[in-house]
Amino acid sequence: MIKIFKTFGGYNEIQKTEKGCWINVIKPTTEEIQRLSDEFQLPQDIINDILDQDERPRVEFEDDWSLIIMRIPVQNTNNGVPFQTIPLGVFMSRDITLTLCLQNNEILPAEKSSPFREQYREITDSINFILRLFLHSGNVYLKYLKQINQQTSLIEQDLEKSIKNRELNKLLKMEKCLVYFITSIKANEIVLAKLRNSKKITTEINQDLLEDAIIENKQALEMSQIYSDIQSGMMDAFASVISNNLNVVMKQLTLISIILMIPTLIASIFGMNVPIPFENSVWALPIIISVSLFLSILGVILFRKRQWF
């Protein structure tokens, strides 16, 4: 999907490019990728880099164009991992600013004309636009981290009574999300540091926005690391809990087997084809059953007294 806007705010959508316009490309098709190369003069190697799932964030400044690649969080439905990170590229030339991402996201949603409509300050230039993307990305990271924490709490409640690995696997996938987040946020931090050291940020507004983006990015990184440390400890603890729950079940099954073995043993003795006591008595069967029940009940009482049941 390709949308062309007159300004960075995205309020006015236009059909053709003009100087100073912003082009937002989300999940491009093969024809749209060819259009990016032919009409918008976007180098093919840059397109391939941005559309690479594992591309690392970086900054490139050339005479005619500049490129910034950042990693943003997205919701994921594959492999049971709820969240992951993907690259978002911002290509800037003298005439246009183009953003490219391989799937829809909350940073630059395709269905929303402007991701900054709720903000009243005007987007003055491409650097201001990029810094707002970093700031918005940090907010989305924090939002998803809270969701991860809520899902983890629900998994913990199931883990306390679990004897299977299903909940532990869910917790492992949450840990994988946090690893994705930590790696991507650290890489974004390097990009922000390069922007701070560059000479591209000249206005006071952009400097304040850069500081806000750095603070938000650090907060997201600290929260990710805290949640990751907590989950690492939890996984070890709950692995022991699952093992202990399994041991409790095995102990109960063993005790039940012992209780059932008492009447089985008595029945086996009186079922032998040899002379036995009470074989000619009318009360033999009731007596044997009564003795078997008595010994079984006595065994249950003994086990309960020792708190084995």
CA distance 270 to 284: 10
Per DSSP, the three-state class of 21 is: strand
pTM: 0.74
pLDDT tens track of the chain, all 309 residues?
888 877 776 667 778 877 878 888 888 888 888 888 877 778 888 888 888 888 888 888 887 888 889 999 888 877 778 888 989 988 888 888 888 888 888 887 766 655 555 554 567 677 888 888 888 888 899 999 998 888 888 877 776 665 566 777 777 888 888 888 999 999 989 988 888 887 777 778 888 888 888 898 899 999 988 888 887 777 676 667 667 767 777 877 888 888 888 888 877 777 777 777 766 777 777 877 888 888 888 888 887 777 766
What domains are there in the chain, each with its CATH number? Answer: 2-244 (3.30.460.20), 245-305 (1.20.58)
First and final C-alpha spacing in the chain? 64
Cβ distance 69 to 58 under 8 Å? yes
| Distance, CA of 9 to CA of 15 (rounded, Å) | 16
CA angle 128, 188, 235 (to 5 degrees): 140
